[in-house]
């Protein structure tokens, strides 16, 4: 019953989408609007204006810096929401489960059975862990010259932490996140944006402004790298914390 309705709705939705797609400029056409407006300017002046050979990084952190600042605020807000929902839930639902008469699946059922991790997975994860960390550092610090950047490197770091936690157990990875440092790590991206934005305001008079003067090129490069590192640490910490919180519940 449900399936035919869903299929017909999906086909119905496809009709206007396909009609719109058919009216777009041909794929790869150099005269399409996407290539002739801001993009043309980015490609022509991007390197000297934004200070990054990788134009994607230049556009993300310099031209659209405010957008990226909002973006890191979004992931930070997501972390806050996850913590809020799960923490409230763990206290209140425990009370509720005592009162309602429904048969709930027992706690032991919900928790992962304590089976040992396969030795192959264990070995491989431990083998590639240092190389993954090195790769993440390269992606982060070289993001303004080669493909990569803070978000990508942060995702790799966060993934590494999650893989290690799943294989080695929480006891082994917990020392990586000091309780004192954890909140600062989770807010690292937002705080870095605020700090770099303030530096930009001092130098250029505009929040998150980057100096264009050739003599200040080193300052601009440092600002870009600081943003990359901040985004990466913040992103990785947020991913790791979301994972730990979900696993704990």
Interface residues for another protein in 74-93 (CB under 8 A)?
74-75, 77-79, 81-82, 85-86, 89, 93
CA 207 to chain centre: 23
The distance of closest approach from Cβ of residue 238 to another protein in the complex, given in angstroms and rounded to an integer, is 9
Q: Does 201 bind another protein (CB under 8 A)?
A: no
At residue 213, the 3 state secondary structure works out as coil
Q: Does 2 bind another protein (CB under 8 A)?
A: yes
Q: Does 53 bind another protein (CB under 8 A)?
A: yes
Q: Does 13 bind another protein (CB under 8 A)?
A: yes
Q: Give the whole-angstrom CA distance, residue 188 versus residue 178.
A: 14
At residue 83, the 3 state secondary structure works out as helix
Q: Give the whole-angstrom CA distance, residue 121 versus residue 163.
A: 10
The distance of closest approach from Cβ of residue 28 to another protein in the complex, given in angstroms and rounded to an integer, is 4
Question: Of the candidates 71, 211, 216, 225, which one interacts with another protein according to CB under 8 A?
Answer: 71
Q: Does 21 bind another protein (CB under 8 A)?
A: yes
The distance of closest approach from Cβ of residue 220 to another protein in the complex, given in angstroms and rounded to an integer, is 16
Which is nearer to another protein, 103 or 108 (by Cβ)?
Answer: 103
Q: Does 102 bind another protein (CB under 8 A)?
A: yes
User: Candidates 68-76, 111-119, 124-132, 180-188 — which segment interacts with another protein by CB under 8 A?
Assistant: 68-76
Q: Comparing C-alpha atoms, which of 139, 141, 137 is closest to residue 225?
A: 141
Neighbours of 186 (CB within 10 A): 25
Q: Give the whole-angstrom CA distance, residue 53 versus residue 58.
A: 8
The distance of closest approach from Cβ of residue 162 to another protein in the complex, given in angstroms and rounded to an integer, is 12
Which tokens belong to 101?
């008469």
The distance of closest approach from Cβ of residue 164 to another protein in the complex, given in angstroms and rounded to an integer, is 19
Of residues 130 through 169, those in contact with another protein by CB under 8 A are 145-147, 149, 151
Q: Give the whole-angstrom CA distance, residue 163 versus residue 129.
A: 9
Of residues 219 through 238, those in contact with another protein by CB under 8 A are 235
Residues 6+ apart with CB under 8 A from 130: none
Q: Does 128 bind another protein (CB under 8 A)?
A: no
Element (DSSP H or E) covering residue 186: helix 182-186
Q: Does 26 bind another protein (CB under 8 A)?
A: yes
Give the end-to-end CA distance of the chain in Å, rounded to a whole number.
36
């Amino acid at each position: 019953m449900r399936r035919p309705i869903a299929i017909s709705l999906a086909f119905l939705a496809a009709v206007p989408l396909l009609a719109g797609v058919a009216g777009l400029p041909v794929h790869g056409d150099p005269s399409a609007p996407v290539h002739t407006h801001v993009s043309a300017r980015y490609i022509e002046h991007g390197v000297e204006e934004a200070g990054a050979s990788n134009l994607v990084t230049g556009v993300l952190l310099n031209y659209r810096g405010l957008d990226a600042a909002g973006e890191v605020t979004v992931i930070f807000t997501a972390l806050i929401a996850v913590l809020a929902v799960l923490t409230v839930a763990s206290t209140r639902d425990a009370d509720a489960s005592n009162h309602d008469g429904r048969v709930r699946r027992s706690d032991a059922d919900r928790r992962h059975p304590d089976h040992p991790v396969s030795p192959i997975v264990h070995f491989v994860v431990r083998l590639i862990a240092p190389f993954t960390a090195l790769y993440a550092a390269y992606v982060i610090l070289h993001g303004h010259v080669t493909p990569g950047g803070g978000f990508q490197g942060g995702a790799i770091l966060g993934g590494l932490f999650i893989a290690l936690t799943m294989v080695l157990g929480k006891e082994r990875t917990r020392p990586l996140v000091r309780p004192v440092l954890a909140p600062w790590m989770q807010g690292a991206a937002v705080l870095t944006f605020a700090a770099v934005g303030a530096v930009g305001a001092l130098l250029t008079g505009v929040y998150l402004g980057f100096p264009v003067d050739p003599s200040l090129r080193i300052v601009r490069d440092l600002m870009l790298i600081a943003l990359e590192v901040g985004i990466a640490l913040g992103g990785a910490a947020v991913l790791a914390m979301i994972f730990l919180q979900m696993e704990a519940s």
